[in-house]
Chain A
């Protein structure tokens, strides 16, 4: 909230509110996501494929909800015609994506918890701090790639590029041996932590700074 007030107060809140109005207006998609995710999780728990899918689900949630009707395509012309500072549009897009990500994470954890209580294979047992650190880092990288794509592309290329981001996450996860048996504990070495921290910080800053700079000169043909 403080950040919102600093960065543009009510205008910023209105822009974030806009993203949530868009998400909740598409009820069919919302219900599909809310019900499809637990079903997929039940199926996955039988195969014991590991915690990487947790991240995959989060990616599905925020890609599906925010990429479809965000600041892209024709509707970006509408926003550009309203009395809104372009920096606010960019920052609000990052903020709303992070808020969606946090809400999606909470929802997914809740589902995993309920699955565990129901006696189904609980992948919550395989949580450790290394894994959480890794997942958060990876998510920030994903958001840093995804938001600029949303801001600067049209709807079709946005969807396909988002899909590419998602597939990349699966491959990265496989590289880190997260798609093996869930019983394998995930470990992140000190060197790995430092490399991850550098990549995360760089992608975070480059993404925001680059988007702010480029969005000022964006043209709507």
Chain B
């Protein structure tokens, strides 16, 4: 569905997207995480051919993303981190502009989504709240039978209730219509809820791209008493914190430690823990 191989892009100001590779299979949601400035939006812009790559390969639906750009974009729904619509237009006018460009535009589906999201066609884009703009962008993205939806920070700036609504909708879409979603965010709790795969980049470098289950199995928070903290265990832990009565450390070898030290308590690490503790691994 979406395959990025050895993607590299260097900017004049020094930032470099360095050898990014990952693969998203049909029918899955991939969360694309990283702190602000990690290169998430840059990667998405390169995938959408809004920025030119220096090297590497991007294949979408098995085709090169530049050579088959129009054919590919016909099957992609996109939602960006800010509104790129013409602000003075109404929802109806904006739809009139966008719809004719898609070969499989489905007016009935669009009207259904407008009703579902309680959006009136006469509403002006400039008067919509951030949440309503995201809803409108979703309605557009879902009304031309897109097979891949690319979203750049769609939930940032939304209240928790609306964020949950959007996530539930995405979950339904993937499971009912067998489409794929590539979803960048820095709100990791969103991904824990719906993502099947997680790709984490920091400072322009890929930290990992794995299934969520694999990540949850591999990473953990190890806890125990000071007498259990051997030198060999100490070497396996990242960000070790010790007190006179206990220690706590993060590990990326949770299953191995679980086998080697069955008496230790190993808690599941959250994506926040993982991002925090691995943030320095690839920094220059």
Q: Hey, which bits of chain A sit against chain B, CB under 8 A?
A: 10-11, 14, 17-18, 21-22, 25-26, 69, 74-75, 77-78, 80-85, 217, 219-221
Contact = CB atoms under 8 A, between A and B. Distances in A.
B88 A26 contact: yes
The prevalent SS among residues of A at the interface is helix
Interface stretch (B78-86, B204-212, B230-238): B78-86
A180 B253 CA distance: 86
A217 B52 contact: yes
A74 B100 CA distance: 20
Contacts of A221: 45, 51
A82 B98 CA distance: 8
22 contacts: A17-B97, A21-B93, A21-B97, A25-B86, A25-B88, A25-B90, A25-B93, A75-B85, A77-B84, A78-B84, A78-B86, A80-B49, A82-B73, A82-B98, A82-B101, A82-B102, A83-B101, A83-B103, A84-B101, A219-B51, A220-B45, A221-B45
Interface residues of B, number: 30
A14 B105 CA distance: 14
Interface in B6-62: 45, 48-52
B221 to A, nearest CB: 39
Contacts, number: 72
A21 B70 contact: no
A147 B184 CA distance: 35
Given A22-B89, A69-B88, A75-B84, A219 B50 contact: yes
A219 B80 contact: no
Contacts of A17: 96-97, 100
Contacts of B80: 77, 81
Contacts of B71: 83
Nearest to A13: B100
Contacts of B83: 74
A44 B89 CA distance: 35
A75 B84 CA distance: 5
Interface string B152-196: 000000000000000000000000000000000000000000000
Contacts of B90: 25
5 closest A-B pairs by beta carbon, nearest first, are A83-B73, A220-B50, A78-B84, A83-B74, A14-B100
Contacts of B52: 217, 219
A17 B98 CA distance: 11
A87 to B, nearest CB: 11
A26 B89 CA distance: 8
Contact of A75 (B86, B100, B102): B86
Contacts of A22: 86, 88-89
A10 B101 CA distance: 9
Nearest to B85: A78
Contacts of B51: 219-221
Contacts of A82: 73, 98, 101-102
A14 B73 contact: no
Most B-side CB within 10 Å, residue of A10, A25, A78, A85:
A78
Contacts of B96: 17, 21
Contacts of A10: 100
A205 to B, nearest CB: 26
A26 B90 CA distance: 11
A25 B96 CA distance: 12
Given A78-B85, A83-B74, A11 B97 contact: no
Given A21-B96, A69-B88, A220-B45, A14 B50 contact: no
Given A14-B101, A18-B97, A220-B50, A81 B86 contact: no
Given A14-B101, A83-B73, A220-B45, A77 B50 contact: yes
Contacts of A11: 100-101
A145 B49 CA distance: 27
